[in-house]
Structure 1
Amino acid sequence: MEPINEIAGRAIPYGAKNVDTDVIIPAHWLKTVSREGLGKGAFETVRAKPGNVFDDPRYEGAPILIAGDNFGCGSSREHAAWALLDMDVRVVIAPSFSDIFSSNAFKNGILAVALPQEQIDRLLAVAVEGELFVDLENQTVGTEMQDRFHFDVDPFRKHCLLNGLDEIGLTMERGDAISAYETRAASQLSFLSGPRAA
């Protein structure tokens, strides 16, 4: 998992509320066994409409998505996070998130930032022409016009995102302790390894 600290660039000013995971990545895309290529199916129904924000060249490769309240509701598909990553989105900013989406986003290296609606409205307005700056270390979202909005983040999630630690990475951090336990267990619990050949 890639670490996140400072993310800067254009933001997709989507703003829609109650966006469920079927909108983020429709069910017929779930047959794949690979995470790659899911960005093509992301927001497929939205992209079917002419003039949609996702196909606007100004936001191509934008690392930030601004959405409305209750983003990621619906089914628990992890493919939603994979699709966003395949679009190069590393931060989603919204007033609130579904718990399951928030968890899946975190486990896949996406920062979900919850801000009040009035701050979201300001960011949506700025994102039409300007860039945003997200600083995880200092827990702020800023604009070129010197707006600075503070957000809360769980300390454990912050540690993992800053250091690029997924569940495997967290386990590997404990490698010395695991090795020490295995050595100790081999001598103290030798009966677990089965009977010795005569």
Structure 2
Amino acid sequence: MCIQNLPKAYKDPSDHIAQETMILAATFAGIGFGNAGVHLCHGMSYPISGLNKSYLHPGYANVQGVGKKIVPHGISVAVTTPAVFEWTAPACPERHLEVAEIFGADISRAKKEDAGKILSDKIREFLHVLDVPNGISAFGFNKTQIDDLVKGTLPQHRVTKLAPADATQEVLHKLFEQSFTLY
């Protein structure tokens, strides 16, 4: 639902069918998140948003009550998703390939060890179509702040412990580095 309709809803807000489908998709996502939980991308998103000092996402300048620089939660989750899914792929390459296929990848000759790269590339393409900022560097972060982002993620046990592997300080540092730019 999202892959087919989010670009339509984004590019044409008057496309009510796409808008309605996205409302339903968001409802399904909320049910899924509420039951199964979320993991690493969400834990990494909190310090991205919390440590932001300079980025104001397009369209938020005139939103009543915002009045400050903001990286919306969905955007801060999205920018780490390609790196995280590439890292999680060895835990279940079949599921990652299945999702890559839903994104339009031809997986007929795909090797399990390539699942993470295939999926992360398709996600990057999708994010680019949606004009998602080009990684955490687009929010004004520089590489010297990666340690602060890691420190902000480590205490997020509620979500980081649901990842299929141990998200150590070293792993998080590498994932933030890989999320510095997307395209």
TM-score relative to the length of structure 2: 0.27
Higher normalized strand content (fraction of residues)? 1
Please state which structure has a larger fraction of its residues in helix.
2
Larger CA Rg, structure 1 vs 2: 1
